Chains A and B, each alone.
Chain A
Amino acid sequence: MATATAGAAQAAPAPKARGGQRLRFFLAVLRARPAFAVGYAIVSMTVLIGIIAPWIVPYGPLVADPNVYLLPPYAAHILGTDGTGMDIFSRVLFAPRVDLTIAVLGTLLSACIGSSIGAIVGYYEGQRTWRTAIATFVMRSTDVLQAFPVFVFAIALVAVFGQSVRSIILAIAFVNAPIYLRLMRSQVLSIRRMRYVEAAYVAGASDISILVRHIVPNAMAPVLSQLSVNIGWSVLLTAGLSFVGAGVVAPTPEWGSMIAMGFQNVVTGQWWPSVFPGIALGLTVFGFALVGASIEVLADPGRRRILSGSLS
């Protein structure tokens, strides 16, 4: 393994040159696939807005002013106000702080837990030891977990843990973990038979050392590409939980909760309390889906080669 790595290092260009080369390639990809650029722009904007929201919003996101309730968009409230007189624009801009925090933390937690268990299960599977029995048990348990409808399962988990941001993060981590577990397991199953892994084993490296130093770093690419798609999906799940009343506590500025608070008004003609958070939610999920699609392409050597060919 050490030899193989050293050989690769000798053949590769200097790190700075390599970084510049990658950036040029990335920009060329974005030019060739503008949809990816749109995705990165949406995600960057959403993150940026979430960060600077306190300095750019005209009103407090939790301040209800009954003197201006249910007003349609106009100069003072450019996206209108909701049934309690809260400014929808301010709340829409504040919402990424909650939605993205929950989605990113939940997804990272699930990736860490799922990938770790998946790596161990994949490494020990098929070795005819007691560890194999445990690995099989873990995989069958995962089957059971994945048999539940994800949304219903998430509602049940929030009901068990209690309604809070922490509970939603845990629920997202729990329902997503099996995805990473399977992904990592399948990667480890193929990588563990590589000759450099066998070489490390023959050299006397421990199981933990082989897993951590030689297998997991080489199995991370699909996990990373899954992360972006999952963050978008988690934003949607968070909003869905809030919409049915199992998510964040009102009046926390959160897109799903805002849609739920305003959806009854749509029938009576006040569409703005629901529609604007809905648009923001849709755009964000769309952005993360495009970023996920780009990572999928960029992380796959075969598709990257094809793309390189078409760019040159």
Chain B
Amino acid sequence: MTDNPIQGLPVRRRDVLKAGSALAAGAVVPAALRATEASAATVSTLVIAAPATPQSLDSNFDVSLGTFEAVAALYDNLLEFAPMPDPKVGGAFREDIADHPDKQAGLNVRGKLCESFELDPAGKFIRFQLRQGVKSNWGNELTADDVKWTWDRKFGLQAIGAFYLSTLGLEKPEGVKVEGKYTVSINLDNPNPLLAKLQPNLYAPIYDSKKCKEVSNADDPWARKFIENNSAGFGPYRLDSLTRGQQAIFKARPDYYRGKPAIDTVIFKEVPTSATRASLLQGGAVDIAQYLQPLEVMKLRGAPGVTIDSVASSFMIWLELNANIEPFNNVKVRQAMNFAFPQEQVLKTVFQGLGEPLTGCMPNIYAGFTEKFWKYKYDPMMAKAMLKDAGFPNGFKTSLAYNAGDPVQEPIAILYQTALREIGVELELKKIPAATFYNAVSERKQPMIFYVDSPWCPDIGYSMTLYFNSGSFVNYSNYKNDEVDRLLKDTARTADQAARVEMMTKAQEIVMSEAPWVFIAFPGYHFAHRSNLKGFTYYTSNNIRFQDFSRDA
């Protein structure tokens, strides 16, 4: 396939019209996009309009938009969840993350960089037999040393890697043992049920240690600078170029151990405005438009040549009620705030009916989720009565911080403000710039603040620990309940899935009753693409993998 996507194509009237519409769209997008307007028409090139290009290619430090699409293309993990057809959307796939007691590790996982694996039934070690002959994009063969170096890097640099080490309970580098050229094991002091489940995670890609060691030095022993801007992995693509703020280009690797991907060149374009991304998709200038607003999704649903695959996802949106700030240290007030939230109206207006009500405290697609403890149907009278019981018969004044960069948050806040007036609560809205919003969340100084997140490991214990363990960094509502902490600790130390689910059901009951959040919605995942693009697969990390796609000629 030629690198020039235009070369060799016959010029037809339709192409001319398409190019015309693309040029019109080009007037409102960065100049850099114009050079590739026609590329969406070619079979072997994929053009993606994304809100941002990756700021870094190192998932140990960066969680910005685009980083994980890049990491998933450049690197492979040891294991992956097997795909299955999506039950709702024909032609789409998703990871099979259900519990499978009949399968190894109780999961439907399969080897990616490893040929096979052996998991200790007690959950204290996992041993991988690596594939032989797998080459990195630098031509170096995969060995157990690469796996060892990858985990040593997490110990050496800490950062996000440290979170994964503590989640696994891996306390020292010696826990990862090279047992042969192609055999490596991870050994824990205490049993951990996540030993296999965490391996497909995008925070656990395997690096080409030989290349990384070549480019490292005394000041940078873990090749931080190199990995930030380049790739040294065993994934299906290599990085061709990265111009931050404009575009990243990825080229398929002909020597990829699973065969060269169908899409030869991927152009990942930065188009900051969602409306512009939608227009580009509609005009045929791009193949995929990411992160569109509900109204745009609804408009594109009827557009010729465009398909929207709406699948259930791990995304959740909620309001953190800061338990360290009055009056949200009072459980009754938190419950009242939930009864006063017009959830149904928000889903109908802001989400255009594309989402589902958030009726629990973890993703509803994960095994063990239950909505039987949901009781917060909109009821302002009940809310008012609860406020009176809590000692606030005349309401109170508080504030809600929202992200200026997320267009759904402001209308939700305005609807909530109107609803709260009915029960005497005066809500001041604070618009926080997108660039500093995450700081505002992690400082935990706002009485109420929006949060959108998804736990990437499809596990009941992991999900609940993330948001409700009093020691968790991501517990932004400062929620603390000793019994919940105990249940979470016990769940993290047993491999008996039935017992884990039982304990976490109890934890869900307590959390739902104590309402540390205002529960808003499961917004779903809405993949907007040209209709001739096939192979969409939903991952719990809520991003796409270029290697999944192919296109009808």
Q: Is the interface of A mostly helix, strand, loop or mixed?
A: loop
A265: Cβ under 8 A from any B Cβ: yes
Residues of A within 8 A of B404 (CB): 245
Contact residue among B295, B298, B410 (Cβ-Cβ distance under 8 Å from A261): B410
Q: Judging by beta carbons under 8 Å apart, are B418 and A64 in contact?
A: yes
A205 within 8 A of B: no
How many residues in A have their beta carbons less than 8 Å from beta carbons of B?
Answer: 25
Please tell me if the beta carbons of B417 and A268 are within 8 angstroms of each other in the complex: no
A-binding segment of B88-96, B130-138, B343-351, B455-463: B343-351
B residues within 8 A CB of A64? 414-415, 417-418
Of the residues A245, A251, A264, contact of B295 by C-beta under 8 Å: A264
Closest to A248 in B: B431
Cβ contacts under 8 Å, B349 to chain A: 66, 69-70, 83-85
> Chain B residues with Cβ under 8 A from A69's Cβ?
349
**A215-240, CB < 8 A from B:** none
Interface residues on B, range: 20 to 34
Distance between A281 CB and nearest chain B CB, rounded to angstroms: 20
| Given A84-B349, A264-B275, A269-B299; A251-B417 close (CB under 8 Å) | yes
Chain B residues positioned under 8 Å from A267 (CB to CB): 275-276, 278-279, 296
Contact (A84, B296) CB under 8 Å given A163-B431, A264-B274: no
Most central of B274, B342, B345 by chain A CB within 10 Å: B345
Q: Does B85 contact A (CB under 8 A)?
A: no
- Cβ of B413 within 8 Å of any chain A Cβ, yes or no, is yes
Q: Measured between alpha carbons, how far is A84 from B407 in the docked complex, in Å?
A: 12
State A250–B479 Cα separation when bound (angstroms).
Answer: 29
Question: Does B413 contact A250, Cβ atoms closer than 8 Å?
Answer: yes
Q: 1/0 per residue A114-125: CB within 8 Å of B? A: 000000000000
Instruction: Pick the most buried of A249, A250, A269: most chain B CB atoms within 10 A of its CB.
Output: A250
A76-95 residues at the B interface, CB under 8 angstroms: 83-86
What is the bound-complex CA distance between A249 and B417, given in angstroms? 13
Which positions 327-346 of chain B face chain A at CB distance < 8 Å?
342, 345-346
Kindly state the separation between the CA atoms of A17 and B275 in the bound complex, as whole angstroms. Answer: 63
A250 and B350 within 8 A (CB): no
Q: Closest CB of chain B to A166's CB: distance in Å?
A: 15
Give, as a whole number of angstroms, the nearest-CB distance from A119 to chain B. 40
**What are the residues of chain B within 8 A of A265 when measuring CB–CB?**
295
Partner among B295, B411, B433 whose Cβ is within 8 Å of the Cβ of A268? B295
A93 and B274 CA atoms in complex are apart in Å by 30
CB pairs A–B below 8 angstroms (23 shown): A63-B418, A64-B417, A64-B418, A65-B418, A66-B342, A66-B346, A66-B349, A66-B415, A70-B349, A83-B295, A83-B349, A83-B350, A84-B349, A84-B418, A245-B404, A250-B414, A251-B417, A251-B429, A264-B274, A264-B275, A266-B275, A267-B296, A270-B295
Using CB atoms and an 8 Å cutoff, list the residues of chain B in contact with chain A.
274-276, 278-279, 293, 295-296, 298-299, 342, 345-346, 348-350, 404, 407, 410-411, 413-415, 417-418, 428-431, 433
Give residues in A with beta carbon < 8 Å to B.
62-67, 69-70, 83-86, 163, 245, 249-251, 261, 264-270
